[in-house]
Amino acid sequence: MANDTDTPNIDPTLIAEPLRRAIGDRYLTYALSTIMHRALPDARDGLKPVHRRILYAMRELRLSPTGGFRKSAKITGDVMGNYHPHGNQAIYDAMARLAQDINVRYPLVDGQGNFGNIDGDNPAAERYTEARLTVAAEALMEGLTENAVDFRPNYEGTLEEPVVLPATFPNLLANGSSGIAVGMATNIPPHNLDELCDACIHLAKKQNSELVRDDTLIEMVKGPDFPTGGTIVEPQESIAEAYRTGRGGFRVRAKWEVEDLGRGQWQVVVTEIPYQVQKSRLIEKLAEVIQTKTGPILADVRDESAEDIRIVLEPTSRNVDPDVLMNMLYRNSDLETRFSLNMNVLIDGVTPKVCSLKEVLR
């Protein structure tokens, strides 16, 4: 017969539950946290928490567009210490992206120093670069002092941060967004701000926005407006369907022209490349096409870019048709890419939903 001393000491505060349920509950908590606080933008200001906190911290540092620059290390340190308790490299990467005019149609951070380039080079370390806000970023925060939005305590309860920015322009569609959460993702291209404002004003003038037809808005917002240029070659019906459903895609091609060299000689000059294509990788791929003889009508490729893009393509013979050459390169390189549209956003900062163009504008 066992003695009382053999009975194990069980902590009364412990809860016994099946491993399956314990893991499931915890993974669900993680998934919701990723969806709401990391990967998906808020439909109201088009920002994720890290971007919102960067802009607010820069405002608190009084880094106005007309003022001086501050070291990026100081900015990321303030963001990390006051509002966003994550790694400083993640914060700096997010801030650097807001300063890159190759990624963001209307940059929200004015960067001084090396903030990366279209070749895919990384920004310099945060101790070497400086930053301040842009006029667009100020427009996003206009009204913060007038109690326009709710504030909440920061992660340690010592300061307050805005739940969402007032956003006096439709930033979500103007600058686009991308992110991968658990079980869902988002990918929204940048758009032209003039077109977006016209569509918003049209919606606002109608007392009942339900009566506004999708086709009317799609006539105003004709399609994405990529910061690196290029030409969208998708049929209009396909673009309209993507905006009506919130899912779809756009084929984007490089912009090019034929340059006459005299005596019947010519070359193709590429002046704009598709969005999110690294120029150095594109050149490598074109050189590979020549080496592997995948494109026997392409003789040479040269990168003569300075501030502007200038990629020179030489044919093997002057009798080659330029359109035939380019169609071959569209198939075998990133001179043509496909941008997938997935307008999955947080409605009121809480509910993830794939929205149509009209729902996002509203």
Catalytic residues: 128
The Cα 298–Cα 289 span in angstroms is 8
Return all residues near 77 (Cβ < 8 A) that are at least 6 apart: 88
Question: What is the rounded distance in angstroms from the CA atom of residue 161 to the CA atom of residue 138?
Answer: 16
As a whole number of angstroms, the distance between CA 88 and CA 77 comes to 7
Q: Which residue has the tokens 């998934």?
A: 31
112-119 contact pairs (CB < 8 A, 24+): 112/69, 113/72, 118/228, 118/273, 118/278, 118/279, 118/309, 119/278, 119/279, 119/280
SS3 316: coil
Count of CA atoms in the C-beta half-sphere (13 A) of 47? 25
Asked if 214 contacts 358 with a C-beta cutoff of 8 angstroms, the reply is yes
The residue with tokens 């590429």 is 270
> Which bin fits 52, alpha (ψ -120 to 50), beta or left (φ > 0)?
alpha
The DSSP code sequence of 279-315 is HHHHHHHHHHHHHTTSSTTEEEEEE--SSS--EEEEE
Nearest to 58 by CA among 103, 111, 102, 101: 111
Beta strands 265-272 and 311-315, pairing class: antiparallel
Interacting residues of 209 by C-beta distance below 8 A, sequence separation 6+: 203, 358, 362
Cα distance between the two ends of the chain: 75
